[in-house]
Amino acid sequence: MKNLFNDERVETWKTENPREWWAFQELNENDELRTRVLAAILNERPEDEAIDEIVRFAEALEGRQRAFRAGTVSAPPGKGERRSFSITVTRMTRMRKADRLFFRVDFGTSYGWSGFFDTTNPDVVEKIAKLRNRAKPITVVGEVTRRLYEFLVELDSRVTIV
């Protein structure tokens, strides 16, 4: 069987996306994200959701490394925990799935964990859109619905900004 990692498409992607390739290599060999990213690369689908997920994973790894260096690392809240968090917004993207329009907000923390949440709340979207300095932390209240990895979480859609 041919080694897919030596495929020309994979080699090109590695060269063009070194940070994402590093994150890909950090995933467990049995992680389904590895399979989905490899399929997206081989099928030349740069807009595939798996590519967005590996970008998010790379950002989370970088945030974790910064927190380790700063000595501020701590574990994220557990699944089901609802509380306030100090975050910095790294990206807000307009998304569509089926007939549903929403915004996906990616964020980081100074504690070495990061995450995202989907929202249709116009107040949340407006406040984030009006942020002049995205490096300045804001406080949100949300519930952890999934811990994708030990340092990457998903919050429920009922996030509010305080």
**pLDDT per residue as tens digits for the range 32-71:** 999 999 999 999 999 999 999 999 999 999 999 999 999 9
Segments forming the whole domain that contains residue 128? 82-161
* Region 115-137 average pLDDT: 92
One domain, residues 49 and 88: no
> Of 17, 39, 70, which residue constitutes the final position of a domain?
70
What pTM does this model have? Answer: 0.87
Residues facing residue 87 across a β-bridge: 138
φ and ψ of 139, to 5 deg:
-105, 125
φ and ψ of 114, to 5 deg:
-145, -175
Tell me how far apart the alpha carbons of residues 48 and 13 are, in angstroms, rounded to a whole number. 14
| pLDDT at 2 (0 to 100) | 56
Contact between 106 and 116 (Cβ < 8 Å):
yes
Report if residue 76 sits inside a domain: no
Distance of CA 106 to the CA centre of its chain: 6
